[in-house]
């Protein structure tokens, strides 16, 4: 695998037919870190849960991420320009409207990990009687039209339970940058990381920085009105505004 840079806007235009029903999504990178862009409309009844974290960013329009927080249903609105990191083992159901687009980053599942899907049925319009069913499968490719497991699924005991926790609010990234201009002049700022998250998300301002992907892939998102140059042992490459760069493990 080699370092690869993709111009986001150009890539979206080239793949625009993928962001409407019935597909609604297209994967940009699909190695250890999976980066996929999602359009709409896309309304789901299932709640999904996995052992990895998911990073959300809305480029155009708003989306609603339905979650089960401490056993209680809640809607988290991720507005245009906002980011949100969903912790692992939280039941969630993305709901997207027409003419919207955003991207999601998640890691590859280990062979021993399972995704969990739960369907919630409202039995009566005027009552809160809900019937729940859970499918535990090694693939999230569920036949959603029939709401039945796929042919490669099999029944097991629940491999893990949802984690009871209070979820953070989505963050407007441009507002965050504007509020931390002085701090960014002194060095990068960590937006997400330990001890709450296993994913590290850093914000870099003007300057020269040493990056090391170590044993994992590294994603570099060059935002609007930005220009960077990535210097590796092999080359120096410009990273244009609104581009996504994937660096393989052991990249310095």
What domains are defined for the chain?
A: 4-137 (2.60.120.10), 171-247 (no CATH)
SS3 call for 162: coil
Q: Between residues 129 and 107, which one has the greater pLDDT?
A: 107
Q: Between residues 228 and 227, which one has the greater pLDDT?
A: 228
Partners of residue 69 on adjacent β-strands: 72
State the pTM of this model.
0.88
| Whether residue 147 has pLDDT greater than 80 | no
pLDDT bracket for residue 142 (50, 70, 90): very low
| Whether residue 135 has pLDDT greater than 60 | no
| Whether residue 132 has pLDDT greater than 90 | no
Instruction: Share the mean pLDDT of the chain.
Output: 86
Of residues 168, 141, 152, the one with CA closest to residue 67:
168
Contacts of 60 (CB under 8 A, 6+ apart): 80, 99, 100, 101, 102
């Amino acid at each position: 695998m080699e370092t690869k840079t993709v111009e986001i806007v150009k890539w979206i235009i080239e793949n625009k037919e993928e962001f409407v029903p019935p597909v609604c999504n297209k994967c940009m990178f699909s190695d250890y870190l999976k980066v996929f862009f999602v359009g709409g409309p896309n309304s789901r009844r299932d709640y999904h849960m996995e052992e990895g974290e998911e990073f959300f960013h809305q480029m155009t329009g708003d989306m609603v991420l339905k979650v089960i927080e401490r056993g209680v249903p809640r809607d988290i609105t991720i507005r245009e320009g906002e980011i949100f990191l969903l912790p692992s083992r939280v039941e969630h159901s993305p709901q997207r409207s027409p003419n919207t687009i955003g991207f999601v980053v998640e890691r590859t599942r280990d062979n021993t990990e399972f995704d969990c899907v739960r369907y919630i049925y409202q039995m009566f319009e005027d009552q809160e009687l809900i019937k729940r069913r859970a499918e535990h499968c090694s693939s999230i490719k569920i036949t959603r039209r029939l709401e039945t497991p796929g042919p490669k699924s099999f029944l097991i005991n629940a491999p893990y339970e949802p984690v009871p926790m209070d979820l953070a609010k989505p963050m407007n990234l441009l507002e965050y940058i504007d509020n931390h201009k002085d701090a960014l002049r002194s060095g990068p700022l960590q937006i997400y990381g330990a001890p709450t998250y296993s994913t590290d998300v850093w914000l870099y301002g003007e300057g020269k920085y040493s990056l090391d992907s170590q044993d994992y892939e590294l994603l570099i998102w060059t935002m609007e009105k930005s220009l960077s140059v990535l210097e590796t042992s092999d080359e120096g490459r410009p990273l244009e505004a609104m581009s996504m760069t994937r660096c393989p493990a052991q990249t310095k």
